[in-house]
Structure 1
Amino acid sequence: MEAGLFDNIKVGFVIQARMQSTRLPGKVLLPLPFPNGSSLLGRIISQLREISKSSSIIVATSTNPENDILEKFCLEEGIFCYRGSEEKVLSRFEAIQRKFEFDHIFRLTSDNPFIDLPSLKKVFHWHLNQNNDYSSTKNLPIGMNFEVFRGESLIKSLFYAGSDFDQEHVTPALKRESHFKSECLDIGYKYENIRVTVDSPADFLTVNILFSIADSTGLQGLGLIDYVKENYPWILEGNKGVFQKNRTLNLREEILEAKIILEELSFQNAASLLLKNL
């Protein structure tokens, strides 16, 4: 990482995590690679620790009893664990920000175990130079893009975050409201259809192989993806049929996402009919 980039700025890396998962329960603490590797959450934490010793790593989970094991894990790792509402994830971030008063927060989720550190540095440097309230990236593999926002802007966004969707997804108001300066950085990496997130058993199997290769080669982040894409492209086909859950902000975006899914499944007529309703 660039020397001094994080030294004089109070940065928090907040990881959303919970044991409950519809498609793959308990995935947060599954070992990578299976069966004797570090946990999925442990992999994220170990990569973040390479960035800056002065930055804080926090796990934000809920008060549901099944997450007691996550609190125990954090205690053993020396990581602060905040527990709050299951559904209102924004309230967890609000409480963390009011406690720590971060200048900037990176929002991460525990189902995304690959972090490209050069890209993280790049987006943070850009975020600061642009003087953004909220910054994100695009064109990285699914599960590797970043979100970073000003701590004070998160608190201000509470005024606009009235819907259940806003409360659950944390940053929609920052992205949507004209009051905030929100921009997206195109990393220029054209593997945006590759899935390296863990939402299903197929995802876990793919990511499991990727971490086996990472451990044997020492490659990380985009360097690992490049290596696998060039030498073993079939590995990245293993979870290609898994669709991302709906994270759109409005009906138009939802229809466009549904059109893509229909076309992937060769329902071309239905996709065309859906598009006519825009």
Structure 2
Amino acid sequence: MNTIAIIQARMGSSRLPGKILKPLGNVDVLTYDIERCRAIQGVTEVIVATSSLPQDDAIAAWCEAHQVAYFRGSEDDVLDRYVQCAKMYKPDYVMRVTSDCPFVDYEMAIDMVELMHKEQKDIILLDGELPRGLAVEIISYPALLRIHEVGLEPRHREHVTYYAYEFKEQFEAITYQIPNNRQAHELRITLDTEEDYQLITEVAKQFNNPLVSSVEVIEFLKANPQIANLNAHIEQKPVI
């Protein structure tokens, strides 16, 4: 089975511009994303998908300097960006990762890839409540092409797989049960604001390891509420 991971990335964040190239530990945020995705057994290629806007030249230059595959496409039509990127690799499955999740749970993702390869469904649905910032999504390439054809609303173009969650009856899904040691919905381990950056910087400082287990990160934040509370007040932007 050919499963590729596509990391969507851009410099133009409204709340924290340039966030994915900010320093994190001894490296930067995007390095964390790449290293953790490359640690996912069963993934054959990791590609950064950015926009063709001049402001994202910095991401292309970073990828070239770090010998990371990348693709450039539409800024706003992220679904099309994914499809055009995936076409180059002829995958069976596509893993969606967002670059603002430097502690994405690669260990759980290994289990999800194994499950998808075994069950060969359209999409994996998660049962449970992860901290924000740890999840990946896995969808079959044919299902992604179907969404590209029928998902025409702005929310579908921006959020890639959203159509499959909105119209679940149109897809064959398999459920992955989130382990109990990852059930911590109150935690926010993502990067969208300055407060988020303060929190992930503290995490990186504690472990100094881009491949630290997400379970250890969760345990650290639960044991240190003064750090977990740095971004507890941040509200996620709604899907519109």
> After TM superposition, is the score higher than 0.5?
yes
TM-aligned CA distance change 1:153 to 1:241, over 3 Å: same
**1:263 corresponding residue in structure 2:** none
CA distance in structure 1 between the partners assigned to 2:233 and 2:122 by the alignment: 35
CA distance in structure 1 between the partners assigned to 2:64 and 2:82 by the alignment: 19
**2:70 corresponding residue in structure 1:** 81
**2:229 corresponding residue in structure 1:** 237
TM-score by length of 2: 0.91
Amino acid corresponding to residue 202 of structure 1 in structure 2: E
Q: Is the Cα contact below 8 Å between 1:175 and 1:182 reproduced in 2?
A: no
**Any stretches of 5+ residues in structure 1 without a counterpart?**
1-8, 249-278
**1:153 corresponding residue in structure 2:** 143
| Identity in percent | 27
CA distance in structure 2 between the partners assigned to 1:91 and 1:84 by the alignment: 8
Please state how far the C-alpha of 1:55 moved relative to its aligned partner.
1.2
Q: Is 1:225 aligned with 2:218? A: yes
- 1:123-147 C-alpha deviation (Å, 9 max, x unpaired): 2223334432011434211110221
- 1:87-121 C-alpha deviation (Å, 9 max, x unpaired): 10011111012211111111001100002232112
CA distance in structure 2 between the partners assigned to 1:195 and 1:51 by the alignment: 22
Please state how far the C-alpha of 1:207 moved relative to its aligned partner.
0.6
- 1:192-212 C-alpha deviation (Å, 9 max, x unpaired): 120000000000001100011
Q: Is 1:20 aligned with 2:12? A: yes
Please state how far the C-alpha of 1:122 moved relative to its aligned partner.
1.9
Q: How does 1:123-134 map to 2 (within 5 A)?
A: 123-134=112-123
SS in 2 for 1:66: helix
SS in 2 for 1:158: helix
TM-score by length of 1: 0.79
CA distance in structure 1 between the partners assigned to 2:51 and 2:157 by the alignment: 14
Please state how far the C-alpha of 1:221 moved relative to its aligned partner.
1.3
Aligned mate of 2:59, from 70, 85, 89: 70
Aligned mate of 1:209, from 202, 209, 216: 202
Please state how far the C-alpha of 1:49 moved relative to its aligned partner.
2.1
Number of aligned positions between the proteins: 236
Q: Is the Cα contact below 8 Å between 2:49 and 2:81 reproduced in 1?
A: yes
**2:170 corresponding residue in structure 1:** 179
CA distance in structure 2 between the partners assigned to 1:217 and 1:148 by the alignment: 22
CA distance in structure 2 between the partners assigned to 1:212 and 1:136 by the alignment: 33
TM-aligned CA distance change 1:217 to 1:149, over 3 Å: closer
**Any stretches of 5+ residues in structure 2 without a counterpart?**
none
- 1:22-64 C-alpha deviation (Å, 9 max, x unpaired): 111110100013xxx2110111111222234861011111111
Which one has more relative contact order, counting CA pairs under 8 Å at least 6 apart? 2
SS in 1 for 2:171: coil
Q: How does 1:5-16 map to 2 (within 5 A)?
A: 9-16=1-8
